[in-house]
Amino acid sequence: MGNLKLALFLAYKSIIKGNRWALVLIILVMALSFANLILTPSILSGVTGTLDEQQVNTLFANIVIDPEEEKYYLDHVGQIENKIEQIPGIVRVSAHLKSNAFIEYQWYEKDSPSDRGKSGTWSVIGIDPSREVNVTMIHEHIIQGSYLHGDDRDEVVLGIEIAGGKGAQSSSFLTLEGVEVGDKVRFTYPNGVQREYRVKGIFHAREMQADRLAFVTRQEMVSVLGRQVFADRASQILVSIEQAGDESWFIEEFEALGINGEIRSWREYGGAVGGIVSSFEVITSLINGIGLIVAAIVMFIVIYINVLNRKRQIGILRAIGIKRNIVITSYLVQALLYAISGIIFGGLIMYFVIEPYFLNYPLDLPVGLVSLSIEPSTVQKAVWGLILAAVFAGFIPVLSIVRQSIIKSIWGN
């Protein structure tokens, strides 16, 4: 019989006739360690995934076309929209006409012109709602009222962080302090144009930047900025594509079509999120490192106690001619079996308990609803991490015993 077969036989007998509770306990520890190695990065990955989705769904779509350097606007927007939408794989194109506005609520109740009242300055975006609903998801985050229609002229949709009141995260004085649907708000644009709008809807996209936007129709914005000049202009064009991840290919296509402007993937705008993601990766590595060390130490202690209890038996095995490496291999096999059992059991816990739970009850965090995002690389790292920890934790204790003389192992002197 080969050395490996003999090592397997010794390991098998040791496990089968060993302490059942110790076996159950160590496999449980391994399973929970494995689940933990997957759970933490998957939650953090879920958070970053949610942040990414929010960036795409509320602010940038997949591809953003900005005016060229030293220009404020993109011209011939209609042509650009038509050209882009002819490329297969494009969902829709939406041109944004942006401005700022000083927005006031209950301005008529102010005591004096110097009274700040309920007001603030925010970005206002003019959109074509019929296009926008295929590009961003703001319309799905309406919490009061309804979204814009193409022919709305005196109505506005406000982000929760402008409207204020219940659900807003910003301090009250940074909002309009509780605007409701149906209320009137007054917009004063930089060019001096002043408009009163009825609040048609309030949205809560759970993306702070998006929730600080106000939307009017493109028609309305054009009329504010000047129909003659702005009818076919845009501050930014957002493009949604069918298959996320293909942005680079489309950007090259747009450039080949001769579209003027700075064409970028949404990722290039995710600087702040990118920083958070990097921070999460560091935190994940730290937590995983600690998790692995804990798992390794637990296994080390269990195997060390096991090896100490069997010190005499190891001595006898060596006395009857069983080589050191067979004894070491038998303990490594045991450690690997603990790890593999833990991986299988932990995987079942993840697959049948934890993941379904998170799908049904996602974490309601300030950044949004966060579910688990289990990536194959995370599982691979956890599997190899636990196996390496097991090999280390199995090898060191048994090595320390088989290095002793046979006499010392058997009789302790």
Partner 1 sequence: MIKVKNLQKVYGKGPIATHALKGIDIEVKPGEFVAIMGRSGSGKSTLLHILGLLDMPTGGEIYIENEDVLKLSEGERARFRLEELGYVFQEYSLLGEMTILENVYLPALCLAKKNNYRKRAVEMLETVGLGDRLYHYPSESSGGEQQRAAIARALINSPKILFADEPTASLDAASAKVVLELFRKLNKDSGQTIVMVTHEPEDKKYVDRVIWLKDGLVWEKNQQ
The site for partner 1, by CB under 8 A, has a size of 26
Sequence-ordered list of residues with C-beta below 8 angstroms from that of 61, at least 6 positions apart, any chain: 94, 135, 136, 238, 239, 240, 266
**Would you count residue 406 as binding partner 1 (CB under 8 A)?**
yes
Please answer whether residues 125 and 214 qualify as being in contact, where contact means their C-beta atoms are separated by less than 8 angstroms.
Answer: yes
Q: How far is the CB of 322 from partner 1 (least distance, A)?
A: 6
**Would you count residue 6 as binding partner 1 (CB under 8 A)?**
yes
Sequence-ordered list of residues with C-beta below 8 angstroms from that of 387, at least 6 positions apart, any chain: 336, 339, 340, 343
Instruction: Cite the DSSP H helix spans in 106-217.
Output: 129-132, 160-163
Q: How far is the CB of 319 from partner 1 (least distance, A)?
A: 6
CB under 8 A: which stretch of 1-9, 131-139, 150-158, 288-296 binds partner 1? 1-9
Sign of the Cα pseudo-torsion (69, 70, 72, 77, in order) = negative
Instruction: Cite the DSSP H helix spans in 133-245.
Output: 160-163, 218-225, 227-230
User: Which string of x and - marks every residue 302-341 that binds partner 1 (by CB under 8 A)?
Assistant: -----------x--xxxxxxxxx-x---------------
Q: What angle do CA 302, 305, 310 make, to 5 degrees?
A: 125
Sort 214 into a burial class: Cβ within 10 Å, 0-12 / 13-18 / 19+. buried
Binding residues for partner 1 restricted to 155-194, rule: CB under 8 A: none
**Would you count residue 123 as binding partner 1 (CB under 8 A)?**
no
- CB nearer to partner 1: pick between 1 and 282: 1
Q: 232: closest CA among 98, 65, 76?
A: 76
The residue to which tokens 């829709």 are assigned: 92
**Would you count residue 367 as binding partner 1 (CB under 8 A)?**
no
CB under 8 A: which stretch of 14-22, 86-94, 181-189, 257-265 binds partner 1? 14-22
**Would you count residue 9 as binding partner 1 (CB under 8 A)?**
yes
- CB nearer to partner 1: pick between 18 and 178: 18
**Would you count residue 23 as binding partner 1 (CB under 8 A)?**
no
- CB nearer to partner 1: pick between 18 and 117: 18
Q: How far is the CB of 332 from partner 1 (least distance, A)?
A: 18
**Would you count residue 21 as binding partner 1 (CB under 8 A)?**
no
User: What does the block give as tokens for 411?
Assistant: 């009789």
Q: How far is the CB of 321 from partner 1 (least distance, A)?
A: 2
Length in residues, the chain: 413
The CA distance from 132 to 82, in Å, is 15
Give the residue, chosen from 4, 16, 112, 288, that forms a contact with partner 1 under the rule CB under 8 A.
Answer: 16
**Would you count residue 208 as binding partner 1 (CB under 8 A)?**
no
Q: Which residues of the shown chain bind partner 1 in the complex (CB under 8 A)?
A: 1-3, 5-6, 9, 13-14, 16-18, 313, 316-324, 326, 405-407, 410
